[in-house]
């Protein structure tokens, strides 16, 4: 798609918000210091506290633990000075009240060693999300606390696939597979969905950032957006895990619409020119229902051209290089502009323009 169409501007609308912690559990470290982190035994083996094993929800298998405002604890055998990681999947079923607190993971010895962020509907949504907690042990026994902590807020949440393991070796970055659907549109505006499958093998994906390449961005792993800009683009998605490791992936996509007006510049023929005189004559053509053609520069000049389908204009250049843009105003959709870039900078040379 030519540069002439790059000015068709539209609002970015992200319709859906999904949980940042996503994907399957493939690739996680083997081993689990918890005796039954998946609660598949149907009992709270190795756990104490106020929770009930439930078949209502399960991240994997058929069971999870349901916590209604309470919490459960498990004792971990730990080595003083060693670093550990706890991974858990949580699904928040309900939340009432706006006071402080929420669900969380916490590692304690005689005092708190580390805890996760509050896990609330606002931060996690109501889908299964993966949460990671890292801590350094100070004695041979560390208590893992899973559940609600805070004020009189009422929360119900399910936890599943809890795993605690000793961290050895380097942190591994997230493994991700981004997807855009569709990757090619032939009519604008178009709808495009984006999503990210993947996981962090030894932690959890904490942040996702999409840069679609057309000026739109999203901080959600998945969603729906409107595409209004024609061209060939590369979307870049960045995933960051709980230890700060980053993975990037790209998806090429394109959009076109033969009905859209186009603006072309015929003279000067080259995208970048050096001229001897300050006054430059430009000529070009437009397709579609263009009502008005305007030239603007990075020196805050704005000059109307004469004609539309075949337009002409004269621009007085400043002393050094500058960018000129040609915009055709579409009469059918007057809020849109077709822009032609790349016919500058035009460098004055000779006389007072050396």
CA gap 317, 323 in Å, rounded:
10
In the complex, what is the shortest distance from the CB of residue 150 to Ca ion, in angstroms, rounded to a whole number?
A: 28
Backbone angles phi, psi at 331, to 5 degrees: -70, -30
In the complex, what is the shortest distance from the CB of residue 138 to Ca ion, in angstroms, rounded to a whole number?
A: 23
In the complex, what is the shortest distance from the CB of residue 34 to Ca ion, in angstroms, rounded to a whole number?
A: 19
Backbone angles phi, psi at 269, to 5 degrees: -75, -35
**Cβ closer to Ca ion: 195 or 200?**
200
**Cβ closer to Ca ion: 202 or 214?**
202
**Cβ closer to Ca ion: 72 or 133?**
133
In the complex, what is the shortest distance from the CB of residue 200 to Ca ion, in angstroms, rounded to a whole number?
A: 4
Residue with tokens 């709270």: 44
**Cβ closer to Ca ion: 91 or 206?**
206
How far from the centroid of its chain's Cα atoms is residue 338's Cα?
28
**Cβ closer to Ca ion: 198 or 203?**
203
- Annotate 33-56 with b (16+ C-beta within 10 A) or e (fewer): bbebbbbbeeebebbeeebebbee
**Cβ closer to Ca ion: 196 or 255?**
196
In the complex, what is the shortest distance from the CB of residue 221 to Ca ion, in angstroms, rounded to a whole number?
A: 16
In the complex, what is the shortest distance from the CB of residue 174 to Ca ion, in angstroms, rounded to a whole number?
A: 7
In the complex, what is the shortest distance from the CB of residue 23 to Ca ion, in angstroms, rounded to a whole number?
A: 13
**Cβ closer to Ca ion: 172 or 299?**
172
In the complex, what is the shortest distance from the CB of residue 16 to Ca ion, in angstroms, rounded to a whole number?
A: 26
Binding site for Ca ion (CB under 5 A): 171-172, 200, 202-203, 241
**Cβ closer to Ca ion: 172 or 207?**
172
């Amino acid at each position: 798609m030519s540069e002439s169409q790059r000015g068709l501007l539209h609002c970015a609308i992200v319709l859906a918000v999904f949980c940042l912690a996503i994907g399957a559990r493939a690739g996680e470290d083997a081993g689990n210091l918890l005796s039954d982190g998946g609660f598949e035994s149907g009992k709270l083996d190795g756990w104490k506290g106020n929770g009930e094993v439930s078949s209502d929800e399960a991240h994997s298998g058929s069971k999870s633990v349901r916590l209604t405002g309470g919490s459960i604890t498990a004792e971990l055998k730990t080595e003083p000075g060693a670093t550990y990681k706890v991974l858990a999947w949580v699904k928040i079923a309900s939340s009432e009240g706006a006071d402080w607190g929420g669900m969380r993971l916490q590692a304690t010895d005689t005092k708190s060693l580390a805890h996760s962020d509050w896990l609330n509907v606002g931060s996690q949504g109501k889908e299964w999300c993966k949460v990671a907690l890292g801590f350094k042990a100070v004695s041979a026994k560390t208590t893992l606390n899973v559940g609600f902590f805070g004020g009189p807020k009422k929360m119900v949440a399910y936890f599943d696939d809890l795993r605690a393991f000793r961290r050895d070796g380097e942190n591994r970055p997230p493994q991700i597979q981004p997807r855009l659907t569709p990757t090619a549109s032939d009519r604008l505006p178009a709808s495009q969905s984006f999503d990210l499958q993947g996981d962090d093998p030894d932690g959890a994906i904490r942040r996702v950032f999409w840069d679609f390449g057309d000026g739109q961005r999203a901080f959600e792993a998945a969603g729906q957006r409107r595409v209004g800009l024609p061209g060939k683009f590369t979307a870049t998605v960045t995933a960051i895990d709980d230890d700060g490791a980053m993975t990037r992936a790209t998806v090429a996509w394109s959009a076109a619409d033969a009905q859209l007006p186009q603006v072309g510049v015929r003279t000067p023929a080259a995208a970048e020119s050096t001229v001897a005189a300050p006054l430059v004559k430009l000529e070009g053509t437009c397709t579609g229902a263009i009502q008005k053609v305007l030239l603007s520069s990075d020196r805050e000049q704005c000059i109307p051209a004469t004609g539309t389908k075949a337009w002409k204009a004269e621009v007085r250049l400043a002393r050094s290089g500058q960018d000129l843009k040609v915009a055709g105003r579409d009469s059918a959709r007057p809020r849109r502009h077709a822009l032609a870039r790349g016919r500058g900078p035009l460098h004055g040379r000779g006389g007072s323009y050396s």
